[in-house]
Structure 1
Amino acid sequence: MTPGLMISAPASGTGKTVLMLGLLNALRRRGMDVQPFKSGPDYIDPGFHRAASGRPSFNLDAWAMERGRILTHVTAQPDADLVLAEGSMGLFDGVAHRGESGIGASAEIATLMGWPVVLIIDVSGQAQSAAAVARGFATLQPDLPFAGVVLNRVASARHETLIREGMERGGIRVLGALPRQGNITLPERHLGLVQAEETEGLQAILDHAGDFIGAHCDLDAMLGAAAARPLPPADPPTAMTPPGGRIALARDAAFSFTYPHVIDAWRRAGATILPFSPLADEGPDDSADCCWLPGGYPELHAGRLAAADGFRQAMHRFARTRPVHGECGGYMALGAGLVDADGQRHAMLGLLGLETSYHKRRMHLGYRRATPLAPLPGLGRAALRGHEFHYASILSEPDAPLAHVTDANGREVAETGSHRTTDGGGQVSGTFFHLIAPAAT
């Protein structure tokens, strides 16, 4: 097995992504081939990982994925010199109830794969006490491999000395110390980072991160701490059947939230992906037998989508006889209308009756388990696991419900998705959650 590390933290907003991107950039410039992964359901970070490493990054999710699927995603990637996985939220954070193979915590992935944890800690406003935090994380779960800590937002040389003294007393190895001055901020919007392909001067940001991390972290010590374990036995995962043999996939700044592992699984099953850009007024390739509209930011481009007559006409022709499915933003685009943050309504495709609004934002966030009430292309009525994250309010959802949906605690979710059959026998469907994997349990 390729040795690896899990980059994690006590909480969100502590500096995981800057450390991850800086390490990927710095090690790539050393000539190393590093395979990135993302623990949890984030669909923006993998794009930055790919830009920094030159390799596709894939999600590993203990709540939504069977153990066999996690292992398959890791072992299916080409050989690398090192694996770096970026955690989500805090190291042990997940949901209350177990899913396919755990609660969705980064610690579960690190333990399963034997990847020692590099914990980045925001040491603002504390000194020796930071060691108590680090020691708690290092010892809470005895079978969790732990490499050491990177100190973030260090105020001065004296501050660093005091913190290192506490870490030494606590038996915690310090792998780096990042000064508060000169630290890096990545541009954000309401669902997290601005997408990699939209980030102006991205390569310069990545190079800056690589220089910063390389100057203030002991890269050789980190490489020496990387490890893996022999893979545990696991049943083969439930098949991820593609929705068609030739899949027209919307792909541009408005429609980009597709999990890389889903597209990879479709390709490995023999499907051909045919990208098209609604923002460029393109429609789905007529040779496709299915059309998939991913999530993204349709609310930021609602005016252009409303004016894209070529896209609208092509989608209506396609949907007459073939299945079309939308996820979150793609679902909203399939609807009748979308009200933007300024209160202006924009006509969408009208293939479904859904009306949504961003004028009064309300956050919807969490894992979802769905049992379809109508067959989905390629998936039939098999139960699914996914994740929902958006700020849209539903004004109207008049079509037939698509699925019975519950959250990670088993509570019923009102956003069922919807579907309708077209005059020519095609089916249009949509959900507010993004598919991660078929459910085995």
Structure 2
Amino acid sequence: MFRKTKLRLVSLYTFVFFIILSVLGLSVYFYMDRKSYSTNDDRLLLKADSLIKNNGTPVPEETERESERRVSYLYWDKKGGIIKSDPPNVFSQKDLRNLMPKKTTEHLRTQSIDGHFYRILTINGNKINKLSMKKVTAIELVYNIDPEVTILKNLLEMIGLGSAGGLILSYFAGLFLASKSLVPIQKSWEKQSQFVADASHELRTPLSVIQTHLELLFRHPANTIEQESVTIYKSLSEVKRVNKLVEDLLTLARTDSNEQLIISQWFALDEMLQLIVEQFEPIAEMKEINIEERIERDLQYFGDKDRLHQLLVILVDNAIKYTASGGKVSIICMNAANLIQIIIKDTGVGIPERDLPHIFDRFYRSNKSRTRAEGGTGLGLSIAKWIVEAHHGHINVESKLNEGTKFTIKLP
């Protein structure tokens, strides 16, 4: 399923990396090209200024060595004939014909002659008084740039080879990045697919029960509501269960889409906990379970009151649900430094160690203790964890089989 997406990502990454490498390589080439010509041009212009100041007589620099490349001077008349060259006989007659200036105005150009490259600066002879009397119309300063051209050609070849190698490296880099980027997408897709499958499975059972009981009603159309009250009650119970499941699914769907579901306000946390204890006391008495409370007074908290109420109801309901008669459920709330710490502890059936890492997963049920017969949807603890994390808190669970479970919530 993700194969086409992966191929597109690989192609995109490869193209982007290749373009980046090529642009960087060409940038280096053009920089070196401009730098080398700029250095040579500066030298020619410096020589030209010295030539003009000395009335056409070249003055060698003190720093020049015999082994260094020298600037050659060519003096031309108005008919295009060579008057003299300095040093003499540097160029052949054939070379001189190619070096003849096309215009006498001052300009720089690059000339290629028999595989050799020269940088040439032309000076108008009128700038030099003594020579202008001898009919010198132009002076050319010629500088051999074969080493620079060779370096630039080698650099361009290296960039070409580097781009070819970069294309291969870009492909493997694109393949690696595409594989890495698809991992969370694949995990998310698998998680979503599993979630949809589990939700469909959870909905199928109550819907089948409702359908069955409604079909039973049609078998005895003459019966009164009182006679069919058991069947109607069972159908209504399943409808309530479906409604609760859909509500939980909607909550989790909104959390996945990052929709704002937390509305914070100041409220008395201790009063809310006390109210929850009072609500569950009759249920606990029916099961002969003792509820022990240690709630610190005057605890003000800034958070979503309804969501935190939902969180605590989920945990207290689970604690009572999975605690046998004669057991105990403890509800503790205290202010610990900069944290509000809430502990829900029971002496119930506990959770097997292998199940502890998964109890906050959606639709996860322990094989023995957490069954559909208890009436849960398998989403309560997932919602509980989301509520805690939405308040930037932390929830932790400790449990031993047949000894009990302890949930610890820390809210900043």
Q: Return the TM-score normalized by structure 2.
A: 0.22
The higher relative CO (CA closer than 8 Å, separation ≥ 6) is in 1
The higher radius of gyration belongs to 2
Bigger fraction of residues in strand: 1
Q: Return the TM-score normalized by structure 1.
A: 0.21
Bigger fraction of residues in helix: 2
